[in-house]
Copies of this chain bind each other. A is one copy, B any other.
């Protein structure tokens, strides 16, 4: 239970942005995640209920939380899909949050709107965990990304990291970048099509937090990278399909490209699901780390749930 005590600062806390946490807190979280399977044997969250409110679909994030909670002996209550849509239509979000709050011990929420999780947290008495809202925040994904890097490289400091894809609308990439500001990577390269460059506010935030970063082309920096974090470029972001087709090929990671230019130790991450931005031939190569990353989602979220819901339970 030692693993628990160190997460005392997580108890009862809302998880809205990765920036709600200090580097030290994240490192403690990762230590507990390393022990999660062992700690789970005592079923520490038996009798506790986690509400999962997915007003926007995300099968991976949903199942990952559900699996984590159940591994710890807890239970879940799900509202998602058509049902979530019709709940959202039928009443205001505040009433829905009060309902979830009445039926559970903590609420995981995913919502299309910026600020929805924070708003829910203001209404609910129970802790609220943001499973993605708006274009910027997806803190448990960022925790998972940083945890994966810590497992792979022993830490984040000193690494050279490329972040590729939609840096404008993709909340996984934005959250990851914000999370990186809590650490000291050597350099972060932002690699995106012109239409999907990061928003001004994000760049300002990264700068003001002292992150060393610059925008770049993949070909120019690939050989320097320890980590290549790939995200999906969605066709729907391009008003003109031909623009998408033009851009697409240049942001597709192939095994040839990696074998030609990348360091032997380079690891490719991806929050998944992917469409075709990573060549399937990378799957079986030494560069692949995205499946490892996906697997770590369960112990990371187990640790977080033990922290937030933990204690005498």
- Chain A positions near chain B (C-beta within 8 angstroms): 40-41, 43, 46-47, 49, 51, 57, 59-60, 63-64, 66-67, 70-71, 73, 75, 77, 79-83, 86-87, 90-92, 95, 98-100, 102-104, 272-275, 280, 291, 294-295, 297-298
Contacts and interface: CB of A to CB of B under 8 A. Distances in A.
A104 B60 CA distance: 12
SS of A interface (majority): helix
Contact of A81 (B46, B66, B75, B81): B81
B103 A298 contact: yes
B40 A95 contact: no
A63 B298 contact: no
A103 B291 contact: no
A91 B272 contact: yes
Contacts of A291: 98, 102
B47 A71 contact: yes
A295 B101 CA distance: 9
7 contacts: A57-B83, A59-B86, A60-B99, A67-B103, A81-B81, A81-B83, A91-B273
B294 A98 contact: yes
B47 A43 contact: yes
A111 to B, nearest CB: 16
B47 A275 contact: no
